[in-house]
């Protein structure tokens, strides 16, 4: 099989959005694009939480990163990076990670530590506005 990903967005109340990314056959450099307009996410908002876990495969940890450019850890001007690889990763930044109209897409990498046979589930929580 080849790498595949699915992005689903669910509104979870007034101005709250849950973005679920399901990946199969994921490797360290596998990447998912989340287009804000196409997915129905707010043009101005903040990321308030992230959960990421390897559900099957060779990998034992993930070190997720989200940014506004491909390969987000290397060159994105907006980055939500993880501190320490783990499985699962659950983060709530002390200060929400805000973004504005300069961001039209996000790029997510789970950055699994081993293999290219991994199933990974990631959930982001977005809030409209700052």
Span 52-78, pLDDT tens digits = 999 999 999 999 999 999 999 887 889
Q: Which tens digits make up the pLDDT trace of 9-21?
A: 999 989 999 999 9
pLDDT of residue 45: 97
Q: Residue 30: which pLDDT band, with cuts at 50, 70 and 90?
A: very high
C-beta pairs of 19-24 under 8 Å, 24+ apart in sequence:
19/123, 19/124, 19/125, 19/126, 20/121, 20/122, 20/123, 21/108, 21/120, 21/121, 21/122, 21/123, 21/124, 22/119, 22/120, 22/121, 23/110, 23/118, 23/119, 23/120, 23/121, 23/122, 24/118, 24/119
Q: Which pTM value belongs to this model?
A: 0.95
């Amino acid at each position: 099989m080849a790498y595949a990903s699915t992005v689903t967005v669910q509104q979870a109340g007034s101005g709250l959005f849950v973005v679920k990314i399901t990946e199969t056959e994921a490797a360290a450099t596998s990447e998912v694009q989340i287009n804000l307009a196409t997915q129905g996410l707010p043009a101005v908002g903040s990321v308030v939480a992230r959960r990421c876990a390897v559900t099957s495969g060779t990998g034992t940890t993930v070190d997720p990163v989200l940014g506004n450019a491909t390969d987000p850890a290397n060159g994105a001007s907006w980055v939500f990076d993880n501190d320490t690889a783990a499985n699962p990763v659950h983060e709530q930044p002390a200060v929400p990670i805000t973004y504005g109209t300069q961001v039209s897409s996000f790029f997510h990498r789970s950055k699994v530590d081993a293999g290219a046979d991994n199933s990974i589930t990631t959930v982001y929580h977005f809030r409209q506005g700052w």
